[in-house]
Chains A and B, each alone.
Chain A
Amino acid sequence: MNKLLLTLMALLLLVLISALAGLNFGPADLSYSQVFQCLTGNCADQISQMVVWQVRIPRVLVALVAGMGLAIAGAILQNTTRNPLADPYLFGIVSGAGLGATIANLSLESIGLGDQLNIALPLAAFLGALFAITIVIFIAKVLQQMEQLLLAGVAVSFMLGSVTQFILYFGDPFATNRVIFWLMGSLSRVEMNNFYVIASVLMVTIVAIIALHRQIDALLLGDESAASLGVNVDQLRLLMLGLCAALSATIVAYCGGIGFVGLMIPHIIRQVIGVTTLKLVMGSALIGGSFLIWVDIIARSALADAEIPIGIITSALGSIFFLFIMIRTRNTH
């Protein structure tokens, strides 16, 4: 059995263990046997049934696919732009989603449709994220330099962020709170429908990546080399960017802002498994999914009386990770 297969099997095992751990941690005091009974359809009481099937299972599944999606999006963006700092959120996706959420929050409240927020907010956030990525692509197209995508993303991110803050400043302070906290990210609101939607977009993205992985690998050699191998560089980059944007926007719409996953995980995988697209994507998906499940476990179990927004934990871990990379790079040099 070769090393890659063994590594992937170990990562699959990690996903399984993480998922089982995710089902067993939580503020409700359920024993392992109670959780196991519920999983086999023999719940001891209605409360355990509700906790396991309506709270923990959707959370674990959404954490799994969201972590997979963000890590895959990061890996693909880093490979297609050949920029190690590329991350789905650096393309203005969170700022766009924040603007969408702000507009939905304030406009629906003002016309008395505040109760519809639960449906409208993810939709508006998704549209906002797509709006942001459309502007980024448009700017890069106008500049005729696709490598400027990241800079355009940072600029758009600041621009949309300032529009959001301006609107929030003049809006209802409670709506401001809602938007700010929503952007910190959480899996507490998720349900099975969210899992189906994210999983569908994730599947489409994975299929496209598998079909085009050789062309994406060619991009690693440089645009000229890829073009000489018959790859339509701009078209491929645009397609991948579009898919990653749709995937990240869907995740942000349901889970809020979860930063750094797309940045950190592919870096780890490059060290452990390899840099070519297929290996990188498979490894990123498995580690990203497990990582977010564990982050969510910390989010709901670390404090006795409250939940920690998931984005706070991923950002904290991400910053430590960056410092670690910086120190390591310095030592290597």
Chain B
Amino acid sequence: MKQIIKYLLALIFISITFSSIAETTTEHKPTIIALSPHIVEMLYDIGAGEQIIGTTAFADYPEQAKNIPVIGNYLRLQIEKVITLQPDYIIAWKSGNPSDDLARLKQLGFTIIYSQPNSFEDIAKEMREFGVLTGHQNQAEQQATQLIKALELIKAQYHDKAAITVFYELWSRPLTTIAKGSWPQQFLNICQAKNPFEQANTPYPQVNIEKILLTPIQIIIQPLSFNQEGSQKEKEAFNWQDWPVISAVKNKQIIQPDADAMHRMTMRSLGELKNLCASIDDTRQWLQQNNEQ
């Protein structure tokens, strides 16, 4: 009996010691202000979501992110709130946050780390960096490796597929598409989808419907934000049914991926890449079977 009590006491002592060590470790995890939805998602992906103490508007994924205090938007940051929160690090989106506010925060002594993923490989690279920064190296490494492996698989699956002409509708009013240098263009490249506007002078060119009518578009890709109400989504999308002469419309080949998942540079976008390539491939096969152009 004495022996059992001794073991129990030892067990209690060990568990208390470990839990206090764990608590101490948690206390030392740096606090972070993440200044864009994609940074918030990335931090949750590597297990550092609980360390985020402030973010910007529209950081709505995963569900827990909706509870993080908002300290500004893409236009302005509330510098006073940042000072009050006293984060160890501010992770900012280099091209998507107000540079003057960031310069001011740097001047006030805050450490700013920049995120600027331009490719899927960059997402993996940044996840590893954020892992080191937040003390979640293992999970970050695991996620990054998983991302690269999944990406290689998708690339291998579609690299020798026949090219198919698509129109990517980024915005409906004015009708705007994508070109080289834009984030979604790599989706099209990987899925072997040919973008007739790829060589435009600007990454997000506005296009005339006449030009689209003259191009044999086989698929229309129309990303929609699924966070919005159904009626809102429909209002914002271009009404392609008015143009039945376009072969994609005639053949009902309009794909509507999740815009948030696709346009945010995170693990989710890889899932959306997989879905998009599969949808494009379905159309490719359908066209081959029906001998359509």
**Residues of A participating in the B interface, judged by any CB pair closer than 8 Å:** 26-29, 47, 50-51, 54-56, 114, 117-118, 121, 169-175, 177-178, 181-182, 184, 186, 188-189, 191, 300, 305-307, 309
Kindly state whether residue B74 has any CB partner on chain A within 8 Å.
yes
Kindly state whether residue B121 has any CB partner on chain A within 8 Å.
no
Contact of A189 among B81, B83, B94, B104 (CB under 8 A): B104
Contact of A29 among B78, B84, B98 (CB under 8 A): B84
Tell me which residues across on chain B come within 8 A of A186, comparing CB atoms. 76
When C-beta atoms are compared, the residue in chain B nearest to A180 turns out to be B75
16 A–B contacts from the bound complex (CB under 8 Å): A47-B83, A47-B84, A51-B80, A55-B79, A173-B204, A175-B95, A177-B96, A178-B99, A181-B75, A186-B76, A188-B104, A189-B100, A189-B103, A300-B78, A305-B73, A307-B75
Q: 6 additional contacts, CB 8 Å, given A56-B80, A118-B99, A173-B204? A: A47-B84, A114-B94, A170-B201, A191-B107, A305-B78, A306-B75
Tell me which residues across on chain B come within 8 A of A182, comparing CB atoms. 100
Q: Are B57 and A306 in contact (CB under 8 A)?
A: yes
Number of interface residues of B (CB under 8 A): 32
- Contact A28 to B81, CB < 8 A, known contacts A174-B95, A189-B104: yes
- Contact A309 to B76, CB < 8 A, known contacts A172-B203, A181-B98, A188-B104: yes
Kindly state whether residue B140 has any CB partner on chain A within 8 Å.
no
Q: Are A173 and B203 in contact (CB under 8 A)?
A: yes
- Contact A28 to B84, CB < 8 A, known contacts A118-B100, A305-B71: yes
Say what secondary structure dominates the interface of chain B. loop
Q: Which 4 A-B pairs have the closest CB atoms?
A: A174-B95, A305-B70, A28-B80, A189-B100
Among B72, B80, B204, the most chain A Cβ lie within 10 Å of the Cβ of B80
Kindly state whether residue B77 has any CB partner on chain A within 8 Å.
yes
Q: Are A170 and B202 in contact (CB under 8 A)?
A: yes
Which residues of chain B from 11 to 44 have any CB-CB distance to chain A below 8 Å in the complex?
A: none
Q: Are B99 and A307 in contact (CB under 8 A)?
A: no
Tell me which residues across on chain B come within 8 A of A300, comparing CB atoms. 78, 80
Tell me which residues across on chain A come within 8 A of B75, comparing CB atoms. 181, 184, 306-307, 309
Docked Cα-Cα span, A36 to B107, in Å, equals 25
Which residues of chain B from 79 to 98 have any CB-CB distance to chain A below 8 Å in the complex?
A: 79-81, 83-84, 86, 94-96, 98
Kindly state whether residue B108 has any CB partner on chain A within 8 Å.
yes
Tell me which residues across on chain A come within 8 A of B71, comparing CB atoms. 305
Kindly state whether residue B282 has any CB partner on chain A within 8 Å.
no
CB distance from A175 to the nearest CB of B (A): 8
CB distance from B207 to the nearest CB of A (A): 13
Tell me which residues across on chain A come within 8 A of B108, comparing CB atoms. 50, 54
When C-beta atoms are compared, the residue in chain A nearest to B84 turns out to be A28
Q: Are A117 and B99 in contact (CB under 8 A)?
A: yes
Tell me which residues across on chain B come within 8 A of A172, comparing CB atoms. 95, 203
Contact of A50 among B83, B98, B203 (CB under 8 A): B83
Docked Cα-Cα span, A191 to B101, in Å, equals 11
Tell me which residues across on chain B come within 8 A of A56, comparing CB atoms. 80
Docked Cα-Cα span, A56 to B76, in Å, equals 16
Chain B window 106-118, contacts with chain A (Cβ cutoff 8 Å), 1 for yes, 0 for no = 0110000000000
Tell me which residues across on chain A come within 8 A of B77, comparing CB atoms. 188, 307
Docked Cα-Cα span, A96 to B98, in Å, equals 21
Which residues of chain B from 159 to 206 have any CB-CB distance to chain A below 8 Å in the complex?
A: 201-204
Docked Cα-Cα span, A173 to B201, in Å, equals 12
Q: Are A307 and B72 in contact (CB under 8 A)?
A: yes
Q: Are A188 and B76 in contact (CB under 8 A)?
A: yes
Q: Are A305 and B83 in contact (CB under 8 A)?
A: no
When C-beta atoms are compared, the residue in chain A nearest to B96 turns out to be A174
- Contact A189 to B95, CB < 8 A, known contacts A55-B79, A169-B202, A173-B204: no
Docked Cα-Cα span, A55 to B77, in Å, equals 13
CB distance from B88 to the nearest CB of A (A): 15
Docked Cα-Cα span, A47 to B69, in Å, equals 18
Contact of A114 among B72, B76, B99, B101 (CB under 8 A): B99
Tell me which residues across on chain A come within 8 A of B79, comparing CB atoms. 55, 188
Docked Cα-Cα span, A56 to B80, in Å, equals 9
Docked Cα-Cα span, A27 to B54, in Å, equals 14
Q: Are A55 and B80 in contact (CB under 8 A)?
A: yes
Tell me which residues across on chain B come within 8 A of A175, comparing CB atoms. 95
CB distance from A164 to the nearest CB of B (A): 15
Tell me which residues across on chain A come within 8 A of B80, comparing CB atoms. 26-28, 51, 55-56, 300
